[in-house]
Amino acid sequence: MTGKSRTTRIADRYRYWHRDPNSDSSWPALSITAINPISLSMLIGLTGTPGTGKTSVSRLLEKRRGWKVVYLNDLIKEEHLYSEVDEERDAVIADMEMIKERLAGILEEEKNRNAEKEKRDAKKEESITIIESHLAHYITDIVIVLRAYPPELKKRLEKRGYSEEKINENAEAEAIDLILAEAFEWCKKVFEVNTTGRPAEETAEDVEKIIDYLLSGEEDELSEYNPGSLNWIDSVP
């Protein structure tokens, strides 16, 4: 194969599983995203390569804080928000315009529900919505990227019963920082959390800390989560 670097080939294959290659890639993040640091309402993307712990962390935050979580991959499958089925790869190609439209409706419902609760309780409600998916960084302005050392990621995916092809593809995507790089391209604020060798409870505490500091406007306290400290490019042959 000529004309493309190994990194480019990995990225092309990985994106094909999840994105429509014929769609316009210039659309912005949802305009409903709250960036005001003093606001009690915020839309956060929790993204990362499959196996980095997004779902486990999201479930803990739902239980611990009562935050609204949209499990985007499930929503895409349940409501057929895709343009094509790739039977060979057992995957779908997500229709991002359909997804944006559906999420806007969900967020509007959540906004109205919170407004009613504030009116009833006569106090301002903390309204956090988390979009949980390896696609979340295409949708939100603020994103937290979960990371995992590729050899450990492989073990996690093996336990899930992934095929060898999918395991290697995801490990390679993680090694080249694919999702992190895309998050920089699409998002205004990007944070990185290393999940390697850590239980989901610890990772959830980190994510919770990031969101709390964003809500309080004390973003300068989050330097430990600035991206760029992880270099795993040599971890996958």
- Amino acid 39: pLDDT: 42
Cα–Cα dist 87/79, whole Å: 18
- Amino acid 119: pLDDT: 76
- Amino acid 136: pLDDT: 94
Backbone angles phi, psi at 166, to 5 degrees: -70, -40
- Amino acid 37: pLDDT: 34
DSSP assignment letter at 19: B
CA 107-111-116 angle, 5° bins: 150
- Amino acid 41: pLDDT: 66
Domains, the chain, in order of start with CATH, read 26-81+95-225 (3.40.50.300)
- Amino acid 197: pLDDT: 98
Encode pLDDT of 45-89 as tens digits.
Answer: 999 999 999 999 999 999 999 999 999 999 999 999 988 887 776
Q: Say if CB 81 and CB 75 are below 8 A apart.
A: yes
Of the given ranges (40-49, 152-161, 210-219), which has the lowest mean pLDDT?
40-49
Encode pLDDT of 89-125 as tens digits.
Answer: 677 888 988 998 999 999 888 888 878 877 777 666 5
- Which one has a higher pLDDT value, 34 or 48? 48
Encode pLDDT of 223-237 as tens digits.
Answer: 999 998 899 998 876
Residue carrying the six token digits 């990772």: 203
Encode pLDDT of 179-228 as tens digits.
Answer: 999 999 999 999 999 999 999 999 999 999 999 999 998 999 999 999 98
Cα–Cα dist 155/184, whole Å: 27
pTM summary value = 0.83
Q: What percent of the chain has pLDDT over 70?
A: 79
- Amino acid 85: pLDDT: 83
Does the pLDDT at position 158 exceed 90?
A: yes
For 156-217, give the DSSP string: HHHHTT--HHHHHHHHHHHHTTHHHHHHHHH-SEEEEEE-TT--HHHHHHHHHHHHHHHHHT
- Which one has a higher pLDDT value, 11 or 43? 43
* Residue 2 banded pLDDT, cuts 50, 70, 90: very low
3-state SS, 128-144, equals EEEEECCCHHHCCCEEE
Does the pLDDT at position 171 exceed 90?
A: yes
